[in-house]
Structure 1
Amino acid sequence: MKVAKFGGSSVANAEQLQKVANIIQDDKDRKVIVVSAPGKRFSDDVKVTDLLIALGEAYFKKQPYEEELQTVLNRFQEITSELKISDQIIHDIKDGVQGILASNDSDALKMDALKATGEDSLAKVLSAYLQSLGLEATYLNPQEAGIIVSDTPGSAQILEESYEYIYKLRDRNEIVVIPGFFGYSTSGKLITFSRGGSDITGSIVAAGVKAELYENFTDVDSVYCVNPTIVENPKEITSLTYKEMRELSYAGFSVFHDEALIPAFKADIPVCIKNTNNPRGMGTIIVSKKEPQPNPVVGIASDTGFISIYVSKYLMNRELGFGRKLLTILEDEDISFEHTPSGIDDISVIIRESVLTKEKEERIIARIKEELDPDTVSVERDLALIMVVGEGMDSTLGLADKATHAFNKAQVNIEMMNQGSSEVSMMFGIKADKVNESVKALYETFFE
């Protein structure tokens, strides 16, 4: 049995859904299908999920929301008309949205239900289309499929008991189409995963049914070793390990939501990234282990939007609990840290700029000064992180030397570097305006 997940670009319109149906028919082992909501049809288009979020935000502000609702209805009307299937789903969407808004649920639960409307409706459309082609197929609600999640709106976590229920999908003979992105709490409330959560659903279902393979269909032939908007025609990666993909996803690769692989990883299920527009292409396979390579570096990822809080104090290393106290201050402000490079008298805490409001920053700096009595405390903005990723890097001589020479060649100053704690990556902190030239120099060093 294979589980196939189709992303937003793969289900954006009727033409793409016809390709999806052909892919499903091409392999009888593709028995469980997970779908996203319709994505962009062209570069300036708006994803259906974004329209539904805008609808909800307008409603909560007591502003008109009919335009966003009508745009969603028009998108689905266009799809059903071109596929020549019933347009009953249009009425269901309209009634469903009105029912959500009129319910007694909290605003957070209402927003989750609105956001899930795109995936849920698309799954019904695809199952109806497969039936029109003479295939034995059915729509299956995540609650019926056994996807039971924690009661945390917008950030659901799968409950272990789910896998026992999901395994029963193996007993079904028909093709099952499941909407991604959401599950149900034990009390029966619809709860969504974090954004990009359809990938999480696919991974959960693959683990639950103990699939031979989890196929994730998107709009690229494979994962590239570097962002193709920075380097023209970069090399493709044919195989990755879970650890490598996790590091790359964290540092800016957008192919996968960075939590998506955890269920598949735990169940040791191979994941193959494939192109809906070129389904016979090799794609990229993600596995637990792979054979050592002469060049252990598989990819270079970059992401901007980071801040460094720098704290210096003479004899810091002799002061018991200094690091714990510093991180506790961040914890009290609900801020998680990304990296903590340190020396004997200083420490930097790297956090995402998006989580640090002006008010939080002022409170944090004031508490650090008051509670830790540092010699120096400062905040450095506009940082980018670049990750050089590959298993086996820790046992290969000269990689850090090559990397630092690449930065020197690009005339980029390294603000910070961290490798010791990871077997699969080297992290470099630089100024955000130097990302492109740095990535190009590293690509030339490791791949050309």
Structure 2
Amino acid sequence: MKVVKFGGSSLATGEQVQKVFNIIQADENRKVVVVSAPGKRFSGDIKVTDLLKTYADQTIAGEDITDILLTILNRYQDIAQYFGLEENKIIPQIKRQLIQLNRVHYPSFDHLYAAFMGHGELLNAQLIACILQAIGQPAVFVSPMDLGMVVSGSPRAARLDPTSYERMHNFQYDPNKLLIVPGFITYTNDGYAATFSRGGSDITGAILARGLHADLYENFTDVSAIYSVNPGIVTNPKSIERMTYREMRELSYAGFAVFHDEAIIPVIEANIPINVKNTNDPEAPGTMIVPNQAITPTSPVTGIANDDRFAALYLHRYLLNREVGFTLKILQILASYNVSYEHMPSGIDDMTIIFDKSQLSPTIKAHISHDLYQTIAPDELEWLDDYAIIMVVGEGMQKNIGTLTKITAALAEANINLPMVNQGASQISTMLGVPVDKMKQAVQVIYDAVF
């Protein structure tokens, strides 16, 4: 049995939805379909999820919602009309649910945003199930609540309760019918809507693949394979035929856009392979993501990822390595401001702490600096906001000597300085810190050196 997830670009128009139906019908093993909200139809278009955020903003502000409501409804109506369902009851049903969102009392603004933005998927799953039924394909809409998926944590960054897997395992359904499940949205024990974090539909798909014991998790998007580097930086990059879970995790963390780095954890835990494929070219083999032991590397490097979402804090103090509890004091200060760190490479007198910039405001940085001066008295402290990370990843790096030397030599020849080099403990990744304005050039130089 296969769980199949389709992204927003695959469901943006009636024409795209027809391609999705063709894919589903081409393989009888595709039993569970996870859908995203309709995405962009063209460059400059607005995703339905973003329209729903505007709807939420206007609701909070007490503004007139007539226009935004009509804009959202028209996106679903256009798809329904493509299949001749303009008179079908599904559009009035979608309209009622959209209006009802504006009339509910929510415990907090976070709960409100989760309910509004999660409805993009919820309504689309109902629409897709209705269209399939209308064209003679047995299908049924299934809510995450029906499946027994329960979450805790923040309403907009929910985490699955592990007991959900047992309930999914016991879920009874007709194997002759397609299950159409909304991605992204889920529910708390109290019945409030919640959403997973970014890449939420991918998370839903992975959870269902594990919970329903799929043999394969297919993730359809708008690319025919995962590329070894960002094609916006390198022209016609090498595609990746097979890669391991941990290679994907390392690359996703540092900017690969195909998956959020947390999204595939459920399938990793269940050893379920993932096949990334293209809705517009479904016959292409795509990229297989498999357990670590299922690959014998043929080259040192599998992929190169880059991201400029980081900031760094540089600390210098002589003999910091000899002070017991030095790092503990720093971590306690960060914890007091609810700030986590990404990496902390250090030497005998120096330490660099790398953060996701989204956690740091000027006020928080000022407070952290003050507390550090008071607590550990650094000889030097400097915030580095102009900071990008490049991750070079490959299972073959463990047994190939000289890969890092080749990279650093190429960067030196291109006159690109490396403020930070950090070898991953797994020995399959090397993290390089570079100035943001040198990031794209550095990626191109590294790609030319290793491929």
Q: Give the drift of 1:330.
A: 1.4
Counterpart contact for 1:77–1:87, Cα < 8 Å: no
Q: Which residue of the partner structure matches residue 113 of structure 1?
A: 115
Q: Which residue of the partner structure matches residue 167 of structure 2?
A: 165
Q: Which residue of the partner structure matches residue 49 of structure 1?
A: 49
Q: Which residue of the partner structure matches residue 209 of structure 1?
A: 212
Q: Which moved more, 1:252-261 or 1:214-223?
A: 252-261
Q: Give the drift of 1:115.
A: 0.7
Residue aligned with 2:276, SS: strand
Residue aligned with 1:292, SS: coil
Distance 1:274 1:14, change over 3 A: same
Distance 1:137 1:92, change over 3 A: same
Q: Give the drift of 1:92.
A: 2.6
Residue aligned with 1:272, SS: strand
Q: Distance in 2 between matches of 1:378 and 1:279?
A: 50
Q: Distance in 1 between matches of 2:67 and 2:254?
A: 36
Of 185, 192, 195 in structure 2, the residue corresponding to residue 192 of structure 1 is 195
Residue aligned with 2:425, SS: coil
Q: Which moved more, 1:437-446 or 1:215-224?
A: 437-446
Q: Give the drift of 1:379.
A: 0.8
Q: Distance in 1 between matches of 2:134 and 2:286?
A: 30
In the alignment, does 2:450 pair up with 1:446?
Answer: yes
Residue aligned with 2:160, SS: coil
Identity within the alignment, %: 45
In the alignment, does 2:82 pair up with 1:82?
Answer: yes
Q: Which moved more, 1:249-258 or 1:413-422?
A: 413-422
Q: Give the drift of 1:5.
A: 0.4
Q: Distance in 2 between matches of 1:394 and 1:64?
A: 60
Counterpart contact for 2:228–2:240, Cα < 8 Å: yes
- Write the mapping of 1:242-391 to structure 2, written as runs, cut at 5 A: 242-289=245-292, 290-391=294-395
Q: Give the drift of 1:93.
A: 3.0
Q: Which residue of the partner structure matches residue 423 of structure 2?
A: 419
Q: Which residue of the partner structure matches residue 23 of structure 1?
A: 23
Q: Distance in 2 between matches of 1:338 and 1:443?
A: 25
1:197-223 deviations in whole A, cap 9, x for unaligned? 000000000001110100000000010
Counterpart contact for 1:298–1:390, Cα < 8 Å: yes
1:381-421 deviations in whole A, cap 9, x for unaligned? 21110000012313321011011012113221111110052
Q: Which residue of the partner structure matches residue 95 of structure 1?
A: 96
Q: Which runs of 5+ in 1 are unaligned?
A: none
Residue aligned with 2:151, SS: coil
Q: Distance in 2 between matches of 1:220 and 1:110?
A: 33
1:108-134 deviations in whole A, cap 9, x for unaligned? 212111111110111111111111221
Q: Which residue of the partner structure matches residue 227 of structure 1?
A: 230
Of 181, 184, 189 in structure 2, the residue corresponding to residue 181 of structure 1 is 184
Q: Which moved more, 1:16-25 or 1:347-356?
A: 347-356
1:30-74 deviations in whole A, cap 9, x for unaligned? 011000000011111000000101110122122333322211111
Residue aligned with 2:310, SS: strand
Give the total of aligned pairs. 447
1:285-342 deviations in whole A, cap 9, x for unaligned? 0011233223121000000032111111111111111111112211211111111110
Residue aligned with 2:150, SS: coil
Counterpart contact for 2:298–2:396, Cα < 8 Å: no
Counterpart contact for 2:277–2:285, Cα < 8 Å: yes
Residue aligned with 2:395, SS: coil
Q: Which residue of the partner structure matches residue 140 of structure 1?
A: 142
The AA in structure 1 aligned to 2:359 is: V
1:175-201 deviations in whole A, cap 9, x for unaligned? 110000021212222111112200000
Distance 1:105 1:441, change over 3 A: same
Q: Which moved more, 1:198-207 or 1:373-382?
A: 373-382
Residue aligned with 1:392, SS: helix
TM-score (structure 1 length as normaliser): 0.97
Residue aligned with 1:157, SS: strand
- Write the mapping of 1:401-440 to structure 2, written as runs, cut at 5 A: 401-440=405-444
Counterpart contact for 1:312–1:346, Cα < 8 Å: yes
Q: Give the drift of 1:161.
A: 1.3
Distance 1:95 1:420, change over 3 A: closer
Aligned-pair Cα RMSD in Å: 1.3
Q: Distance in 1 between matches of 2:126 and 2:28?
A: 20
Q: Give the drift of 1:241.
A: 0.6
Q: Give the drift of 1:91.
A: 2.5
Q: Give the drift of 1:100.
A: 2.3
TM-score (structure 2 length as normaliser): 0.96
Q: Give the drift of 1:169.
A: 4.6
Q: Which residue of the partner structure matches residue 126 of structure 1?
A: 128
Residue aligned with 1:200, SS: helix
Counterpart contact for 1:409–1:441, Cα < 8 Å: no
Q: Distance in 2 between matches of 1:309 and 1:243?
A: 27
Residue aligned with 1:103, SS: coil
Q: Give the drift of 1:165.
A: 1.9
Q: Distance in 2 between matches of 1:360 and 1:55?
A: 31
Q: Distance in 2 between matches of 1:321 and 1:33?
A: 51
The AA in structure 1 aligned to 2:61 is: K
1:424-444 deviations in whole A, cap 9, x for unaligned? 210000000111111111111
Which of structure 1's runs of 4+ aligned residues deviate more than 4 A? none
Q: Distance in 2 between matches of 1:109 and 1:405?
A: 51
Q: Distance in 2 between matches of 1:217 and 1:318?
A: 52
Counterpart contact for 1:406–1:438, Cα < 8 Å: no
Distance 1:408 1:87, change over 3 A: farther
1:367-389 deviations in whole A, cap 9, x for unaligned? 00011111111111211100000
